[in-house]
A and B are shown apart, each in its own frame.
Chain A
Amino acid sequence: MDFKFDIIWGYLPLFWKGTLYTILISLSGVALGSILGLFVGFGKMSRRWYLRWPMQSYINFFRGTPLLVQIYMVHFGLMPLILGKTNSIAAAITALSLNAAAYTAEIYRAGIQSIDKGQTEAAHSLGMTHFQTMRFIILPQAIRRMIPAFGNEFIVLVKDSSLTALITAPEIMYWAGVMKGQYIRIWEPYLTAAFIYFILTYSLSKLLNWIERKA
């Protein structure tokens, strides 16, 4: 099999730029998604139906429909509505955040509900308020249990960000597609992209392991 390293060489500066955008899009998606997910997660656990129902529907929608369709809906529907025109990077970050929120919401919920009920009862019997119980008893334990699930979600999100190439967010996969178009060759662009994603996700998993040990 012939494999032309020289054409990869020519695209390295663009792959580098693309890598920075992938990191920007993924990090923003993770950060905003985790914050939004917190509200969605607590909303879903609420005893009030008018909080619970919308959040449950939110999770059902974003977990139950293809991310690609969500990306197109945000890019061609939501963004023109807000900005008056399309914007690929803003759409990429928004779509990934909205999607990640649905998954992180369930991680928060699972983490919190995994803590034994007796702990809440014990805290209440010590005179702690609901907020204090959460802050000092439940969350410190729950967060430790959430870390592996979060790590998993982050790694998936980094790879999912490649779908935003289809709305021309200038990240790694986009430049791979551009390179493919120029030479009409498959393996040089796609294997290069795979290699970069692997480096990103592998470093991320090492980092997460370290955090898990520290926590």
Chain B
Amino acid sequence: MKKWLASAIITLMAVVIVTGCGAKTNNNAGSEASGNTSNSGDTTTYKFATDASYAPMEFMDKDELKGFDIEFLDAVMKQAGLKYEVTNTGWDAMLESVKQGTEYQGGVSSVSITDDRKQTYDYSMPYFESRNVILVKEGSDIKSATDLKGKKVAVQTGTTADILMTKIMGNGDTNLKKFDSNAVALLELDQGGADAVVADVAIVQYYIQQNPDKKYVSIEDNTNFAPEYYGLLFPKGSDLAAKVDPAIKAIIDNGTYAELYKKWFGEEPNTDNLK
């Protein structure tokens, strides 16, 4: 009996230690701010998951979450008067746990709103306009997305660049190389395995700016690449969307959004299509 008890205690301690060390979270009490009074009775701490590997939208600076999305969520939740915390769970874990909705009640990770995804998730109102662009070597004969047919193209799996290029090149075409992250897709372009990379404009501009010696240029194609919108991700049937949407509207209207946007991207946002 003693042995049994000892092993139970050790197991319990191990569980406590593992779970205690496992989750490093950003704790932010939204109630500090003078918020929207409609949610002031809500003392739940809403847990958000993110995949912090998408600079400058969300990334880890040492052990701290940073990026436009992170500060945006902070502004929204303060406005709504809701408590929340964000954890870097990685993409797969975020999708699955937000779908289940038990541990995490939301996801913030530059998730584009698409009809396919709406079958499984609810979204907030759109909060960010993005566009895909093509990255090629200077002097390339690629001028638009349709020129990419028959060429080798690298994208990150599951991004809207992937979805758009799959539509253009066909599902199952191995000339469309789908990598785990944009970082590896860009390396493939560097090493001659791909003729072009298609990705969000923020990522592409960042890469060109960081690597001026590589002589890359970005190509816009507004006919084939329609603008797309990021939304906060919620489980199906969540009531959280209804709570945050007015707050998102409010921070767009009161200029907080523009301020954040300028801080991260150095220019004024065009918010006409967000409302």
Q: Assuming the A-B contacts A86-B188, A180-B157, A182-B163, are A14 and B95 also in contact, with contact meaning beta carbons closer than 8 angstroms in the complex?
A: no
A181 to B92, CA, bound (A): 10
Minimum CB–CB distance from A60 to chain B (whole Å) comes to 27
Residues of A within 8 A of B163 (CB): 181-182
- Total B residues in contact with A, Cβ cutoff 8 Å: 28
Q: Is the CB of A178 within 8 A of B95?
A: no
Which label, helix, strand, loop or mixed, suits the secondary structure of the A interface? helix
Name the one of A13, A168, A183, A184 contacting B179, with C-beta atoms under 8 angstroms: A168
Within 8 A of B (CB), among A153-201: 166-168, 170, 174, 177-178, 180-187
Most-contacted residue by chain B among A168, A182, A185 (CB, 10 A): A168
Residue A56, interface by CB 8 Å: no
Q: What is the 8 Å Cβ interface bit string for chain B, positions 153-180, against chain A (1 contact, 0 not)? A: 0100111001100100001101001111
Name the one of B95, B116, B187, B191 contacting A182, with C-beta atoms under 8 angstroms: B116
Minimum CB–CB distance from A188 to chain B (whole Å) comes to 11
Count A/B pairs, Cβ under 8 Å.
71
Most-contacted residue by chain B among A17, A86, A185 (CB, 10 A): A86
Residues of A within 8 A of B171 (CB): 14, 178
Which label, helix, strand, loop or mixed, suits the secondary structure of the B interface? mixed
Q: Is the CB of A85 within 8 A of B193?
A: yes
Q: Is the CB of A170 within 8 A of B116?
A: no
Q: What is the 8 Å Cβ interface bit string for chain B, positions 221-234, against chain A (1 contact, 0 not)? A: 00000000000000
Q: Which residue of A lies closest to B111 (CB)?
A: A184
Q: Assuming the A-B contacts A14-B172, A178-B157, A186-B96, are A84 and B192 also in contact, with contact meaning beta carbons closer than 8 angstroms in the complex?
A: yes
Kindly list 7 other residue pairs between chains A and B, CB separation below 8 angstroms, not including A76-B188, A76-B191, A184-B158: A88-B177, A168-B174, A168-B188, A170-B174, A177-B158, A181-B159, A187-B96
**CB<8 Å pairs between A and B, sample of 28:** A13-B172, A76-B188, A84-B192, A86-B188, A86-B192, A87-B193, A166-B180, A166-B184, A168-B174, A168-B177, A170-B174, A174-B178, A177-B157, A177-B178, A177-B180, A178-B157, A180-B92, A180-B157, A180-B158, A182-B116, A182-B162, A183-B116, A183-B117, A184-B117, A184-B120, A186-B92, A186-B95, A187-B96
